[in-house]
Amino acid sequence: MIIRTLTVAVAAATLLAACGSDSNDTAATDEAPASDQPVDVQEGFAESITLVTYESFPTEGTPINDQLAAFTADTGIDVEILVAGDTGTMLSKAELTVGNPEGDVMWGIDNSFLSRAVESGVFEPYVADGLDAIPAQFTELVSNGEATPVDFGDVCLNYDIAALDAAGVEPPAGFADLADPAYADLLVVQNPATSSPGLAFLLATIDEYGADGWEAYWQQLVDNGVAVTDGWTSAYYELFSYYGGDRPIVVSYGSSPPFEVLFAEEPLDTAPTGVVESTCIRQVEFAGILAGTEKLVEAQLLIDFLVSDDFQTELPLNVFVFPTNENVELDPTFVEYAVIPDTSRSVDPADIDANRADWIDTWTDLVIG
């Protein structure tokens, strides 16, 4: 979701606080107690469970971690976080360890990678307690309980308003502008083989130009000097001009602007970054139980907790994504500055499933060589 950084998010959350801001059988599934029922670890639960997640999930010092501590207080089960890289890298590692996973629950597989994870047998199906608070538009993506939808947002082109103004360049209105020589050497994207926003952006261009036109478009981007990184963090915090790089246009999220407003060193009345709404494509993230875990019931309890009202309430201002739990009321600041397009792009999951590998291979040949 989808705005992420490890070091910056932790530091920002600390600043905010300082300012006063405030096995797969049915029986096993049915026997898991609801996460809102305090239980004693002495009843037989494991003392700890491992949550595998992407590189910029907050690991300490934020309300998200306070919520995980509350889960521990209620259940006696400590949650250890294992950072496994960007989404594509995290999934590749999980595929290599199917049946003997590095952890027990995985957070962060999105709808563009979901079918690959399911086909690889990465997840143990489970229908979470509390799923009735999640709208059908999300749950229908995992109709058999393959994973649990936990957040959503939109991957979009973002731009540094001041940097473009200083260069005398208008913000791009859409995909076509990026191929114009006026935008040469201004764009940085992520590799779709390793990055979920990178894959989402590739899918958005396929939605725009179709199966017969997207390759020619990407060739134009290559000719116009597009830069590529392996993940979102390096693109946004190393090459994006707002953080000192030389690229004023980056693939990021519709929820990036409120992050910049809330965590700016000096108070801001307007967002310093903008979003090209016509490029936005919807991204849904999932959490799932890793197949082969020896802590199945504990994993079920954690999944239940991840969709609970208390935990979901902390997602917008800590992970900068929208909660899937429709009971959660969004913070007004987040609503004011986040971009929620009237219509988000999407690609049929069946098309993604059938073509993802070929699309990524073709993109790699075109862009990386």
Q: What is the pLDDT of residue 42?
A: 40
Q: What is the mean pLDDT of residues 256-269?
A: 90
Q: Provide the pLDDT confidence category of residue 7 given band limits of 50, 70 and 90.
A: very low
Judge whether 355 and 268 are in contact, CB under 8 Å: no
pLDDT digits (tens, 9 = 90+) for 279-331: 999 999 999 999 999 999 999 999 999 999 999 999 998 888 999 999 999 98
Q: How far apart are CA 359 and CA 199, in angstroms?
A: 10
CATH superfamily membership of 6-152+283-335: Periplasmic binding protein-like II (3.40.190.10)
Q: Residue 285 and residue 269: Cα distance in Å, rounded?
A: 30
Instruction: Convert the pLDDT of each residue in 209-250 to its tens digit.
Output: 999 999 999 999 999 999 999 999 999 999 999 999 999 999
| Residue 341 backbone zone (phi > 0: left; psi -120 to 50: alpha; other: beta) | beta
What integer pLDDT is reported at residue 2 of this predicted model? Answer: 42
- pLDDT at residue number 43: 65
pLDDT at 29 over 80: no
Rounded to whole angstroms, the Cα distance separating 278 from 269 reads 24
pLDDT digits (tens, 9 = 90+) for 80-103: 999 998 888 999 999 999 999 999
Residue 77's φ and ψ, nearest 5 degrees, are -100, 115
Calpha distance 220→312 (Å, rounded): 41
pTM confidence score: 0.80
Q: Which residue type sits at 222?
A: V
Spell out the domain ranges in the chain: 6-152+283-335, 154-282+340-368
Whether 193 and 88 have beta carbons less than 8 Å apart is answered as yes
Superfamily of domain 154-282+340-368: Periplasmic binding protein-like II (3.40.190.10)
